[in-house]
């Protein structure tokens, strides 16, 4: 009874927001921040390793468990810190309520499992070590009932209970190291063996999931229907619309030649041909086999309910997932899919400002890409021929959509800057003769505003290659003379990364050294009177949710600038939120920096040479001085270390400064300290004249 009352309270509380889809402004995390993000990973992983190691474990198994838990802990931390994972929002709350219902009577197990949302249009869910389950917006947007979602969560919970990921890693390690028959197999046979092992785990998870699922009153047919949905996941979430209405895009241009009738069957057939090949090397059983198993298990259940928590809550979460999928599709430059989804959503949720803004962004980005990268190929399978439309035509369509949106919803910073940027792009273009865009061009001439003088990103920075010492000194002096003085910067995720050629990134050493690196940065900031606001995971505690979300915006901005967005001279899509942050912090300057140390592997010849040198040194009177040096060369790791420092000015939309520099000394805090003192002197103009 107590559980039912809690569910009722939660539904009433959350239902107040179900009608607020018109105010949706993106999926963001809410507090508190989970321990998987804010706790030092090397400490958390030690605790998790202790839990997994059992009395009587072989040394090889202990080694495999340690390596797996450590790498899994860092994977989860990086994933949850990336901005792709959403926690404690209304969707995550809903997912965890379903999980709790499935595990009624299993409080300890339920408390040790958490479900998180991933912003991705890919239809997927997966379980990771430590009781973490992840569900994508792509999956949520396709399902029809809460019961289907509950079965999929049951499947992922089964993976956690059976420890499939850990056991698979141990077995794979054993095969590659100790199984002589496995070593004799060809590479293809090895891959197939591993895939077959994974398929068995998936089959076991399917069957185990029914034991949780059928204890509830959820519809016993939901496992079957969920697999039917997964079978068609290559298709859009709605296949009833086969033609986009031209009026949805423009009322002033004749674009019927760019609209195509959609043939969903051809898309499905093409995917089915690929499936016949993929199934051999897939980590999952074939979908038809899983459907057959689901039908066999149906009689074990008695439930008939499609919803046990809230149909309204499910519908609301599904709509949010569909809207967010559009943004992720645009991020991936899958513009044809994004446009089709916007069209479907516009029919369901007409006159939604957020959806309309995504529509602006889509056509605006297409027009910029077509202008600055003429050989860029855009897929055109879902109703609109982006490839054939001209740069002028795409700019005019973007202008009309943005202009009409501004009339309807008022100006935002983004729409205002986009309009002005399109004005700037169109100012030098002419229509020579009557075309399908003539009326739209006349509309633009009648309504265009003054041209926005968008600054061009600076190109005179040392980022693509290392400079000689003389060139670098000249580069720094030029920046010192020509740049402004900065009193405060927002420093995003500084890191010190340690690599070696055999094992890649040493995550524990990197995490520990990054903490010390932060101290170096603050110490030099104090010396140069530079105010630093650190936006990094290492600086957060569980209550810093606002800072966590702002950090994601700043990361998206720097990634946007470093990727093609800056080369295309585009407006940053989250410019409204970015300006909120920089206005509050009273600075427009963002800095990104890292130190990267690569271990120099000593060859056997080096060890032999140093050993002989050490032996010979004992024959000299100075052996007591030479010997320690020779031994230290044998024992102490040597690194090649690079610093990377880049400064962005959000006000001028430019990269102000960048430096990629080789530290010739071994990687130590003293040498690093001097370089960052130099960087901060440049920013604050505190360098003393000779």
Q: pLDDT digits over 255-266, tens only?
A: 998 998 887 877
Range 615-622 average pLDDT: 48
**What pLDDT, on a 0 to 100 scale, did the predictor assign at position 457?**
47
Please indicate, yes or no, whether residues 425 and 493 belong to a single structural domain of this protein: no
Task: Provide the pLDDT for residue 125.
Answer: 95
Q: SS3 helix, strand, coil % of the chain, rounded to 5? A: 60, 10, 30
Residue that is last in its domain, among 413, 447, 481: 447
What does the pLDDT read at residue 631?
Answer: 47
CB 598 within 8 A of CB 640: yes
E-assigned strand segments in 76-233: 85-86, 114-118, 125-128, 132-136
Structure confidence at residue 110 (pLDDT): 95
Structure confidence at residue 71 as a pLDDT band (50, 70, 90)? very high
pLDDT of residue 194: 73
Same domain, 385 and 438: yes
Structural domain for 553, as ranges: 469-684
- Are 642 and 526 contained in the same domain? yes
One domain for residues 431 and 346: yes
Can you tell me the distance from the alpha carbon of 407 to that of 405, in angstroms, rounded to the nearest whole number? 5
77 within domain boundaries? no
Check whether 686 has a pLDDT greater than 90. no
Residue 23's pLDDT band, with cuts at 50, 70 and 90, is: confident
pTM, to two decimals: 0.88
Look at the block and give the residue holding tokens 């996941």. 233
Considering 65-69, 180-184, 457-461, the range whose residues carry the highest mean pLDDT is 65-69
**Is 58 contained in some domain?**
no
For residue 574, being part of any structural domain is answered with yes
Q: Quick one: 505 and 432 in the same domain?
A: no
Tell whether 364 and 477 lie within a shared domain: no
Contact 497, 596 (CB under 8 A): yes
Tracing tokens 């890649």 back to the chain, one arrives at 504
Helices and strands: H and E segment counts in the chain: 29, 10
Of 387, 413, 447, the position where a domain reaches its end is 447
Is the CB of residue 345 less than 8 Å from the CB of residue 118? no
User: What count of Cα atoms within 13 Å lies in the side-chain half-sphere of residue 414?
Assistant: 22
384 and 475 both lie in a single domain: no
Q: Residue 100 above 90 pLDDT?
A: yes
Kindly indicate the confidence band of residue 185, based on its pLDDT and cuts at 50, 70 and 90: confident
**pLDDT of the residue at 161:** 94
432 occurs within a structural domain? yes
pLDDT at 203: 85
Residue 564 is predicted with a pLDDT of: 60
pLDDT over 70, % of the chain = 83
Instruction: Identify the band that residue 126 occupies on the pLDDT scale cut at 50, 70 and 90.
Output: very high
Least confident segment among 144-158, 232-246, 297-311, 526-540: 232-246
Q: How confident is residue 98, by pLDDT bands cut at 50, 70 and 90?
A: very high
DSSP assignment of 146-192, as one string? HHHHHHHHHHHHHHHHHTHHHHHHHHHHHHHHH-HHHHHS-HHHHHH
- Cα distances (angstroms) measured from residue 341 to each of 191, 345, 403, 459, 513: 37, 6, 22, 37, 45
Question: How many distinct structural domains can be found in the chain?
Answer: 2
pLDDT for the residue numbered 470:
76
Specify whether 386 is located in the same domain as 476. Answer: no
473 with 604, same domain: the answer is: yes
pLDDT at 586 over 80: yes
Q: Give a yes or no: residue 421 inside a domain.
A: yes
Contact 384, 339 (CB under 8 A): yes
Residue 10 has pLDDT above 70, yes or no: no
DSSP assignment, residue 281?
A: G
Mean of all residue pLDDT scores within the chain? 84
Q: Cα(552)–Cα(148) distance, rounded to whole angstroms?
A: 32
pLDDT tens for each residue of 304-327: 999 999 999 999 999 999 999 999
Using only C-alpha atoms, the chain has a radius of gyration, in whole angstroms, of 29
CA atoms within 13 A on the CB side of 148: 17
pLDDT score, position 238: 82
The residues that bridge with 594 in the sheet, in sequence order, are: 495, 644
CA distance 549 to 556: 11
Q: Are residues 525 and 673 in the same domain?
A: yes
Residue 633 has pLDDT above 70, yes or no: no
> What is the pLDDT at residue 19?
54
Same domain, 534 and 604: yes
Report pLDDT for 507.
Answer: 93
**Is residue 367 included in any domain, yes or no?**
yes
Same domain, 516 and 405: no
Q: Give whichever of 290-294, 457-461, 496-500 has the largest mean pLDDT.
A: 496-500
Does residue 5 lie in a domain region?
no
Q: Is the pLDDT of residue 12 over 50?
A: no
Buried b (16+ CB within 10 A) or exposed e, 554-584: bbbbbebbbeebbebbbbbbbbbbbbebbee
Given CA atoms 257, 259, 261, 267 in this order, what sign does their dihedral have? Answer: positive
Task: State how far the Cα of 646 lies from the Cα of 643, in Å rounded to an integer.
Answer: 10
- CA dist 301 and 214 (Å) reads 5
Q: Assess if residue 585 is contained within a domain.
A: yes
Q: Which two tokens stand for residue 17?
A: 């927001």
Say if residues 160 and 108 touch (Cβ distance below 8 Å).
no
Q: Please, which residues have CB within 8 angstroms of residue 27's CB and are 6 or more apart in sequence?
A: 86, 89, 91, 117, 119, 137, 320, 324
Of the two residues 496 and 655, the one the predictor is more confident about is 496
Which has the closest alpha carbon to 535: 576, 494, 572, 584?
494
């Amino acid at each position: 009874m107590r559980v039912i009352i809690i569910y009722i309270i939660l539904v009433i509380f959350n239902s107040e927001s179900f009608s607020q889809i018109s105010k949706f402004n993106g999926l963001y995390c809410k507090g508190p921040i989970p321990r998987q993000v804010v706790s030092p990973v090397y400490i958390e992983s030690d605790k998790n390793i202790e839990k997994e190691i059992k009395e009587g474990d072989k040394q090889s198994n202990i080694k495999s468990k340690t390596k797996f838990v450590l790498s899994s802990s860092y994977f989860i931390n990086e994933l949850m810190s990336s901005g792709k994972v959403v926690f404690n929002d209304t969707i995550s709350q809903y997912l965890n309520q379903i999980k709790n219902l499935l595990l009624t009577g299993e409080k300890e197990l339920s408390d040790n499992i958490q479900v998180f949302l991933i912003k991705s249009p890919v239809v997927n869910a997966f379980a990771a070590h430590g009781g973490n389950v992840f569900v994508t917006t792509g999956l949520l947007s396709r399902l029809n009932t809460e019961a289907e979602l509950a079965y999929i969560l049951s499947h992922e919970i089964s993976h956690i209970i059976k420890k499939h990921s850990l056991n698979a890693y141990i077995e794979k390690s054993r095969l590659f190291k100790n199984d002589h028959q496995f070593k004799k197999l060809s590479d293809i046979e090895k891959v197939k063996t591993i895939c077959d092992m994974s398929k068995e785990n998936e089959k076991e998870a399917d069957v185990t999931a029914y034991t949780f699922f059928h204890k509830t009153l959820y519809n016993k047919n939901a496992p079957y229907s969920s697999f039917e949905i997964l079978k068609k996941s290559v298709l859009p979430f709605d296949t009833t619309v086969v033609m986009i209405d031209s009026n949805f895009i423009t009322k002033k241009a004749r674009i019927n030649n760019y609209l195509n009738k959609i043939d969903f069957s051809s898309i499905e057939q093409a995917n089915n041909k690929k499936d016949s090949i993929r199934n051999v090397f897939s980590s999952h059983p074939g979908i038809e086999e899983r459907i057959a198993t689901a039908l066999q298990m149906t009689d074990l259940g008695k439930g008939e309910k499609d919803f046990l928590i809230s149909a309204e809550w499910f519908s609301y979460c599904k709509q949010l997932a569909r809207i967010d999928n559009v943004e992720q599709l645009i991020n991936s430059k899958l513009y044809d899919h994004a446009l089709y989804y916007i069209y479907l959503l516009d029919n369901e949720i007409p006159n939604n400002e957020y959806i309309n803004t995504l529509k602006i962004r889509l056509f605006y980005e297409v027009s910029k890409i077509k202008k600055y990268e003429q050989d860029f190929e855009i897929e055109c399978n879902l109703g609109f021929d982006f490839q054939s439309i001209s740069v002028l035509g795409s700019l005019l369509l973007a202008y009309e959509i943005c202009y009409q949106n501004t009339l309807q919803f008022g100006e935002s910073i983004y729409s205002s800057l986009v309009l002005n940027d399109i004005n700037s792009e169109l100012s030098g273009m002419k229509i020579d003769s009557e075309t399908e865009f003539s009326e739209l061009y006349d509309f633009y001439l009648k309504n265009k505003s003054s041209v926005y003088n968008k600054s061009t990103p600076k190109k005179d920075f040392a980022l693509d290659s290392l400079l000689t010492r003389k060139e670098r000194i000249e580069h720094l002096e030029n920046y010192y003379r020509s740049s402004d003085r900065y009193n405060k910067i927002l420093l995003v995720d500084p890191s010190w990364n340690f690599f070696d050629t055999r094992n890649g990134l040493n995550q524990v050493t990197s995490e520990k050294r990054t903490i010390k690196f932060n101290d170096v940065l603050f110490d030099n900031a104090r010396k140069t009177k530079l105010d630093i606001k650190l936006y990094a995971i290492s600086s957060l505690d569980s209550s810093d949710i606002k800072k966590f979300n702002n950090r994601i915006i700043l990361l998206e901005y720097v990634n946007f600038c470093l990727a093609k967005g800056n080369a295309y001279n585009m407006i940053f899509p989250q410019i409204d939120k970015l300006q909120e942050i920089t206005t509050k912090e009273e600075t427009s300057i963002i800095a990104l920096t890292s130190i990267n140390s690569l271990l120099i592997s000593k060859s056997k010849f080096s060890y032999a040479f140093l050993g002989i040198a050490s032996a010979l040194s004992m024959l000299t009177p100075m052996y007591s001085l030479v010997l320690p040096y020779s031994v230290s060369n044998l024992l102490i790791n040597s690194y090649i270390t690079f610093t990377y420092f880049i400064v962005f000015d959000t006000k001028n939309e430019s990269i102000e400064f960048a430096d990629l520099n080789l530290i010739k000394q071994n990687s130590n805090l003293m040498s690093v300290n001097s370089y960052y003192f130099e960087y901060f002197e440049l920013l604050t103009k505190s360098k003393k004249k000779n």
